[in-house]
Amino acid sequence: MKNDNLSMLCDFYEFTMSNGYFKNDFYKKNVYFDVFFRKVPDNGGFAISAGLEQVIEYIKDLHFNEEDIEFLRSKEIFDERFLDYLKNFKFSGDIYAVPEGTPIFPNEPVMTIRAPAIEAQLIETFILLTLNHQTLIATKANRIVRAAQGRAVIEFGSRRAQGISGAVDGARAAYIGGCAGTACTLTDELYGVPAGGTMAHSWIQMFESEYDAFKAYCELYPDNPTLLVDTYNTLKSGIPNAIKVFKEVLVPQGKNEFSIRLDSGDISYLSKKARKMLDDAGLKSCKITASNALDEYLIRDLMMQGAKIDTFGVGERLITSASSPVLGGVYKLVAVENEIGEIVPKIKVSENTTKITNPHFKKVYRYFDNESGKAIADELCVYDETIDNSVPHTIFDPNATWKTKTITDFTAKELLVTVFKNGECVYESPSIQEIAEYCKGQIELLWDEVKRFENPHTYYVDLSKKLYEIKNILLNVYGV
């Protein structure tokens, strides 16, 4: 790439709008934008937030160099004073975000940006592409991991990913979602996601025989090797040769951690046959890995059929979220500060009611039932509202205001944490392992009904009474 300054990874209209803000003296005006999504991928019950660490690094390095300025100047539409402004550009605002690994739901802010108008506008594209992509893959990975019912899932998708970041950051997101590791070496080097692998058919084809290939591999890598057994004939040669090599090379060394991999054919049938052959040979500790265009539905079916599989390698359908490849997160203006510092709520209206936004600078509370520990609902509140855990609290469905529920024995937790304050990062990103563990724990706080693949229970995301009334006032002002 000729210019790797990611500040230029920006929709062109962000620059034309920002030039207009500058010429109209809006560039000093603080504005508020929310990032949220409207629909869970695969019609699931929840998504998993991911990508915040990459947003943080992008914001820290936000700048425009001389090459960038000259490129914009060449378009002959930008005010020279605006270009001078960009020369000293630095983010100076505030960012609030949901920590990575948090289960999230439609129409609630997962990130809020408060910053001068130009600053908030120019970061839109990168924030959306990063959060949309990694949240999508983390969500898909978690569905696959849950389908595996405790068996390890390894991300195998680099060669089918949509570009470099699709492979590298996708593998990172998959680990957050619950995968045990990745085949992508660069993701391990950059982020510490454990990388590993077995062998390709080419390794076996390079040798005079399948047996020779297996023997050479086990001699090279005696600690937990995995042999690919379907290059020629899985049951007649692949598994018998693997058994022979394990017993000749590894067992005499006291090694009892090794595996075979099935990558074609009827995986359920072959895994059962393989398990019996291995057990009959006294290799009950040998694990069976399965791969070959798997997803959560195929894995669920394999589990229902009693397949004898210990580990799943999942590639293209995970790394591209093939069945639902777009999250559709959006970045919407929700408030503007006026000349005396008052926060003025803004709303976008539409004949399509799903596109009507929730206005104002907001907090998001998640309510947990103290008896079960499970999450009850999320509530969007105006920034100055506080929740007292010690007194009963009434929540209601804004789409059916007659439907209210009063909760008493609960704990309220704010979801959005401060990431940047006055342009300085005040948030320390956890390690990738800590994020993955956090994600696992948070998903356990969801009811099983929310985690169903088909027709999951709709988790309630409500508006506080104060926010609901503000929204209605704005809708009336705009004639809705």
User: What single-letter amino acid sits at 253?
Assistant: Q
Query: Could you tell me how far CA 235 lies from the centroid of its own chain?
Result: 39
**Measured between alpha carbons, how far is residue 399 from residues 222, 403, 462 in Å?**
61, 9, 9
> Which positions of the chain have pLDDT values less than 70?
1-3, 396-403, 479-480
For residue 405, the model assigns a pLDDT of: 76
- C-alpha span between 322 and 324 (Å, rounded): 6
Query: What residue ranges define each of the domains in the chain, with the CATH number in brackets?
Result: 6-137+325-477 (3.20.140.10), 198-292 (3.20.20.70)
pLDDT in tens, 79-116: 999 999 999 999 999 999 999 999 999 999 999 999 99
The string of DSSP codes covering 288-349 is EEE-SS--HHHHHHHHHTT---SEEEE-HHHHTTTTS-----EEEEEEEE-TTS-EEE----
Helix (H, G, I), strand (E, B) or coil at 108: coil
Instruction: Look up residue 39 and give its two tokens.
Output: 């629909």
CB 399 within 8 A of CB 68: no
Look at residue 179 and give its three-state secondary structure.
coil
The pLDDT of residue 328:
92
What's the rounded Cα separation, in Å, for the pair 439 and 52?
Answer: 14
Distances 82 to 67, 87, 92, 239 between C-alpha atoms, Å: 15, 9, 17, 68
Predicted pLDDT at 417: 98
Tell me, what's the pLDDT at 28?
85
pLDDT at 27: 82
Q: What is the predicted pLDDT for the residue at 402?
A: 47
Three-class secondary structure of residue 165 per DSSP: helix
Neighbouring C-beta atoms of residue 424, cutoff 10 Å:
10
Task: Give the pLDDT of residue 1.
Answer: 47
